[in-house]
Chain A
Amino acid sequence: MKIKLLDIAHGRSGDKGDAANVGIIAYDDKGYQIIAKHLTVDSVKKHFEGICLGEVERFELPNLRALNFLLHNTLGGGGTVSLKHDAQGKTLAAALLRMEIEVDEI
């Protein structure tokens, strides 16, 4: 079955220079197993195609049931240089939660 990441996780995003940081937190342990398996560097890079123009870095925080991603070359030069409406990537956590994941059961 297909689930929306939004239903099993929440998160917050912000800026680190021209990179956006996207933190995703599962609501429970089972959700963490799902995000740890399905949110890979490749799947996140593909999801943000056209938005993240650089490399994706992925970090695990199992203690918080969370993953942290750094999306490099994403904010149009970053902070005050960027011409983007969302120059600080504040809405990108919500953008990642749009992802649909194919799981066996939930």
Chain B
Amino acid sequence: MKEKIRIASGQGFWGDLIDAPYKQVTAGDIDYLVMDYLAEVTMSILQKQKNKDPKLGYAKDIPPLMERILPICKEKNIKVITNGGGVNPQGCAEEVLKVANKIGLTDLKVAVVLGDNIKDRIDEIIEAGCELNNMETGESIKSVKDKLLSANVYFGAFPIVEALNRGADIVITGRTTDTGLTLAPMIHEFAWSEKDYDLLSAGTVAGHILECGGQASGGNLLADWESVDNLADIGFPIAEAYPDGTFLITKHESLGGKVSYETVSEQLLYEIGDPKDYITPDCVADFTSIKLEDLGNNKVKVYDIKGNAETPSFKVSCSYESGYSASGSLTYSWPKALSKAKAADKILRKRLENLDLHFEEIRTEFIGYDSCHGPLSTKLDENDINEIMLRIAVRSDDYNSVERFGKEIAPLILTGPPSVTGFAGGRPRPSSVVAYWPALIPKNLVQPEVKILEMK
């Protein structure tokens, strides 16, 4: 058994720094590169891409990234784990094998984890007695079944562990939890039992710290953000894990950013609910047990983590189409910038009303004044305001109303209050609104499947 392993975060979402994974494999030693590509909205985008072309449906950044990093990963024996397979892990793996062939590699084992995509199994699942009731409203999925864009089960670490046990160099999954990507190599290397919930919780907490990339190594830091050095060349976080569940969060020395008590604790608090009840498919981690010690030198020790048994369900995330939205903006300058923006808003609303359009919501915000903190914002005298961006957004089931709204923004320049600019890029176009349907499914209704693809 290895004495320790170093797991590096390479991506916090699809659209994150393109060069981050490359820097993680080149700027120092690591054993695993883990990349989270999937936000809830990503699955519906990928499903739409796959509907148009059955070969797509995965994070398209992956094949070109692999072309850059595979020779290095092979040489340094770095394994890559990612959920960027989206709704087509197999298609992604096939492209990666093509890339491997192209750059002259002769052996590469790529594993895929399948079975999370239940979009075509909804009827069968309802028949088996699970109506995928909305976790927030309790409503049966039947009401949105015909509008479904995607439906995926969140798998945990164990399918990836199976892939690693079978010798995979690269593991590409669909909807695996972000935390499972980091936990899996620890289970694999340290032979942790699926019943040792304290250890599984430790790996899960490490995964939570790594899952948002640079957000644990100096990015988006509210505490003393000005002290963070060289964010331009930020090093993403690395977990140096030990068999007893202790781990250090650190980063490559030569890269920028910072790892400190503050950077790690802020990330620990990010997007959590009840801290005693951090539910994953693998365990229920207790965040009130976590101990942190800042060792200095960009090293934070995380230890003593406790947890409990997993729940009998997997979480399911479904997305469905729910009307249209659009937003437009204009910028008004001093003098009386705020009054002008407010007047323009009134005029626009009156015009929309006269046109007899239908909206579920019209929202007006004054950017530069109170769009972030609303009533908590400091009240300013008009003379102190240099400029205000008026932002108006609408949502409706009626496409034509939203489209017509888009045509009413630009005319305000010549037919509304003065000293206005900032209308570029054409009319705001309606975009479809994708809504979410969170649900639970008994674990026995879905089976993860691990397949190994090898070079021919």
A residues near B (Cβ < 8 Å) are 10-12, 14-18, 21, 23-25, 27, 47-51, 57, 59-64, 66, 68, 70, 76-81, 83-86, 90-91, 93-95, 97-98
Contacts and interface: CB of A to CB of B under 8 A. Distances in A.
Given A23-B272, A59-B273, 8 more contacts: A17-B438, A21-B271, A25-B269, A59-B275, A61-B290, A64-B265, A80-B435, A83-B361
Given A81-B433, A83-B327, A91 B266 contact: no
A45 B224 CA distance: 27
A84 B266 contact: no
Contacts of A16: 271, 273
B41 interface: yes
B365 A11 contact: no
9 contacts: A17-B136, A23-B268, A47-B376, A60-B288, A77-B435, A79-B40, A79-B436, A83-B393, A85-B371
A106 B288 CA distance: 26
A81 B325 CA distance: 8
A21 B372 contact: no
Contacts of B309: none
Interface string B424-438: 000000000111101
Contact of B288 (A57, A62, A77): A62
A50 B289 contact: no
Contacts of B274: 57, 59
A47 B376 CA distance: 8
- What is the size category of the interface that chain B forms with chain A? 35 or more
B267 interface: yes
Given A80-B434, A83-B327, A93-B222, A12 B373 contact: no
A10 B434 contact: no
A70 B273 contact: yes
Nearest to A60: B288
Contacts of A48: 376
Given A61-B288, A83-B363, A51 B270 contact: no
B265 A25 contact: yes
B326 to A, nearest CB: 10
